[in-house]
Structure 1
Amino acid sequence: METEELQNIVKEIEIFTSGEDYEALLSKLQYLDENFTNPTKENLKKTNIGVKLNKLNKSSSNKEVSALAKKLVTKWKDIILKNIKKHQKEAVNEAASPTKSSDKITEKSDLAVDLVEKIPEKPRNVDIDSIKYELYEAPIIRNKVLKAFYNCLAAETSLPSDEVFNICKSLEQSIYEASAKTAGHYDEKAYTNRYRLIFSNMISKKNKELKIKLLRKSISIQWLMECEAKDLAPEELKKKLAKIDEENLFNAQGATLERAATDRFQCGKCKQRKASYYQLQTRSADEPLTTFVECLNCGNRWKFS
């Protein structure tokens, strides 16, 4: 089902809900049950249909509508989680399975891979390894960044010093060039921000995999120039964030204001007594709450204190 059709269905559901046309609402939900078989995080977020049905499940006075809305939300969530697990499993299998290129790995490259994670017998840094890192006259910060990168990477690898330093030079040069893209010249703030983002993750004891990827050159430096902080997080943290994201996707109602249905208020427009309301403290704490009311019949809104 295309995104545009889903958006139209969301609009129809809102109309049927406000008019309490339960027959039409049930028909539309049954249509979704039969035809919307490709739910993804992307199309649910874009159309907001998961949130709408979650709200319908909690607020509808019609038991059939509420039950079917709940069924659909649960069904879509299960499909999305199943697909995520499937992709994760495929990624693990792909990483574990031998490739054509791996059949041609030489003894030299095998040794290099082993050296990446081999802890050096003696401490390593720019002074001990005699690294001439002061390559730039200005800005001086570039030399300091080269030193920081080398000391961090070399400390936990037995790769030759020239290989490690070449990685550091490529990384620093890319940060420098990326900082000039927006302004057209070196931007100290952009340079510093990108360096701090990468280095803070690089030195983290919980993110050792980032250093390994850099040393193995299995991570694109260009990607490092464009990624966000969450992209550099350790895999364990990424999984936790993904789980939270999934929960939020279907519990977005928790991020909205709780509304209650009532017949206490009469709409000044259509004179009906079918409304929902919520209250907020919009002024100082010793002032009364402000009540916001929405007519469920015509959509008219008003407030009072």
Structure 2
Amino acid sequence: MMEKELIRLYEAVKKAADAATTSTAGEVEENRCLDAFKLLKKFPVNYQILASTQVGKHLRVLTKHPKKKIRAFAVDLLDIWKAKITKEISKSKEEKVYQKVSEAENTKRNRTSSSQNGKTKAEKTDRNIETSTSENIKEKDCNVVTGEKTVSVANMAKDEKKQVSGILNEAPSSLAAPSKKETMIKTNDERRDKIREILHEAFSRVSGEADEAIKDQVKTCDPVRVSVAVESVLFQNWGHFNGAQKIKYRSLMFNLKDPKNPDFRRRVLLGEYSPERLVDMKTAEMASDKRKKENETIKRKALFDCERGQKPKATTDQFKCGKCGKRESIFHQMQTRSADEPMTTYVTCVSCNHHWKFC
């Protein structure tokens, strides 16, 4: 029923849009098309309805309509539907993951409860034997036996409480550190799954690197969920891990895994940097707080030297200029490659302004 209603609304939009281009009363038909668009926008769609009707696919034609307002409405509606479907799919995948975890936990609890029930039945049988035996003894002896049984029952209750508390204490630890195979959402693409594993490994380090002030906040974040969200956004914007996009993937993953850059992966895990922001983020923005301060100091020093408008003074005589042969130069160093590679040294001769670099 809902599929038919959606198709009817789309056909009304398409008919009015076609009439707006061919009819002499273009404005009237355009307004009629926009009104039909508003009704279509309010319609509650989901993945199943759009997949069965293919309305979203047919609606793309209107994004190239000659009327500007119709084009804008079509693009806006497609963006809204895309966001809804993406959210619905990600939510269903997360529910499946947590369902598996809860099923594993319930199985473990059922096994524990069944073992406890077996112990309780055996203890009841022993009590019945003791009771039948004590009926043939004197009243005084019965009181003694009853007192002993009372003590044994109290001890048994304490033991059961200890067992239950032990089980409850073990359950969160098993949920806090599940194995990767049970929690990581697979895509059936080896390269994408590998990227998700690398991101998960990087985000898992944050709990051990965080300060005491934010450890509770870090514990509430799920590295698996963040890894899946980041990889999905990167794949939507960059595509597969090949060609020119490989450099972007490598640069981002290197900065997330860099042992000297814990600030960057912590901000991503805590949500200070959204996955969408990582797509257009420059390398300088990914640097750690310490590296950013060093870069800012270098920029200020260079700006100060330029504003003075005078010849800079040599800071070292260790480098000989290949152009003029003098040993009057200034230099600075930057980490332009991976962390296990040496820093790159940039040298400028103050006599002839010749520049060169080496590693």
In terms of fraction of residues, the more helix-rich structure is 2
Structure-1-length-normalised TM-score = 0.37
Bigger Rg over Cα: 2
